[in-house]
């Protein structure tokens, strides 16, 4: 892929760990659940990079000794309720993300969200952050009967935006994101600033490129206005 010449007509984001820094509230929800069960809390830094893996991974971390499926599912549902109750205490867009969104919006490049997060939680979070009206599409974990790493959610997003997946880029911070994007025939980008352990070799994921901050994405998109003139 050649920098600044890629024919990208649409941008799709994973939600947790890519578009939004949701880890503080996800960790808060788990610690609230642990407190309810008289278990010690977990330090934020131990859980931050687990946040992209969702409710199963977080609940499993907090309750590794619970092996009964029904008991575990009950705990997971309790975790989701705690999260719903505190879904936007400290969650925010990642640094530089608002500037990136404004720039691609000014360039008339549609953007959307494809996440494995349940739709009710996704919508609630976007509403609280006043973001609901800005994406051209929102595909959540329960929009279809399949979720990432299946490519179908990404293909649905592409169909909704009415732009070819071959001219769309999907950005995520988990191998599932890159696998799904590649399978959908999209360009793929690793959000290295997201919830990724420092020693993980993301080059093995098979993405087209990696960015260390949101604004680096602009180096890989052909803009009608040169990057150094955007916002001037």
The average pLDDT across 191-209 equals 95
Domain-located, residue 3 = no
Q: Of the candidates 85, 103, 132, which is a domain's last residue?
A: 85
Q: Is residue 85's pLDDT more than 80?
A: yes
At 115, list the tokens.
């996440």
Kindly give the pairing relationship between strand 209-211 and strand 187-191: parallel
- pLDDT category, 52, cuts 50, 70, 90? confident
Same domain, 125 and 196: yes
Q: Is residue 231's pLDDT more than 50?
A: no
Same domain, 215 and 101: yes
Q: Of the candidates 85, 109, 125, which is a domain's last residue?
A: 85
Same domain, 162 and 208: yes
Same domain, 194 and 145: yes
Spell out the long-range contacts of 38-41 with Cβ–Cβ below 8 A and sequence spacing 24 or more: 39/63
pTM (2 d.p.): 0.91
Q: Is residue 203's pLDDT more than 60?
A: yes
Give me the number of domains the chain comprises: 2
Kindly give the pairing relationship between strand 92-93 and strand 20-21: antiparallel
Domain-located, residue 4 = no
- Does 173 qualify as catalytic in the annotation? no
Domain-located, residue 57 = yes
Same domain, 101 and 45: no
Which pLDDT belongs to residue 202? 96
pLDDT in tens, 155-183: 999 999 999 999 999 999 999 999 999 99
At 145, list the tokens.
């009967």
Which pLDDT belongs to residue 224? 58
- Residue reference for tokens 């990432």: 148
Q: Which residues contact 148 (CB under 8 A, 6 or more apart)?
A: 114, 116, 154, 176, 177, 179, 180
Out of 14, 25, 173, 174, the active site residue is: 14
pLDDT in tens, 89-102: 999 999 999 999 99
Which of 87, 76, 94 minimizes the C-alpha distance to 28?
Answer: 87
Q: How many CB atoms lie within 10 A of CB 224?
A: 9
- The torsion defined by the Cα of 13, 106, 8 and 16, in degrees rounded to 10, comes to -10
Which pLDDT belongs to residue 4? 41
- pLDDT category, 6, cuts 50, 70, 90? low
Entry field: residues in the chain: 232
- Does 127 qualify as catalytic in the annotation? no
Region for 117 from its dihedrals, namely left if φ exceeds 0, alpha if ψ lies in -120 to 50, beta otherwise: beta
What range does the domain containing 42 cover? 23-85
Same domain, 103 and 130: yes
DSSP 80-93: HHHHHHTTTSS-EE
Q: Of the candidates 39, 70, 85, which is a domain's last residue?
A: 85
pLDDT in tens, 113-171: 999 999 999 999 999 999 999 999 999 999 999 999 999 999 999 999 999 999 999 99
At 165, list the tokens.
């997946």
């Amino acid at each position: 892929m050649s920098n600044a010449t890629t024919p990208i007509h649409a941008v799709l984001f994973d939600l947790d760990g890519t578009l939004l820094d949701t880890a503080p509230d996800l960790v808060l929800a788990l610690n609230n659940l642990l407190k309810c069960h008289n278990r010690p809390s977990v330090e934020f830094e131990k859980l931050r990079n687990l946040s992209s893996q969702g409710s199963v991974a977080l609940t499993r971390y907090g309750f590794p000794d619970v092996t009964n499926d029904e008991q575990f599912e009950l705990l997971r549902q309790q975790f989701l309720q705690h999260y719903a109750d505190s879904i936007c205490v400290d969650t925010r867009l990642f640094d530089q993300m608002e500037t990136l969104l404004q720039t691609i919006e000014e360039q008339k490049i549609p953007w959307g969200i494809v996440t494995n997060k349940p739709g009710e939680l996704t919508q609630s979070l976007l509403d609280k952050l006043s973001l609901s009206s800005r994406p051209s599409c929102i595909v959540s974990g329960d929009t279809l009967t399949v979720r990432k790493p299946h490519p179908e959610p990404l293909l649905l997003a592409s169909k909704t935006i009415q732009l070819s997946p071959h001219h769309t880029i999907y950005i995520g911070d988990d191998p599932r994101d890159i696998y799904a994007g590649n399978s959908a025939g999209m360009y793929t980008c690793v959000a290295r600033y997201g919830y990724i352990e420092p020693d993980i070799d993301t080059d093995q994921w098979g993405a087209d490129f990696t960015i260390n901050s949101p604004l680096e994405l602009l180096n890989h998109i052909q803009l009608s206005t040169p990057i150094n003139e955007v916002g001037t």
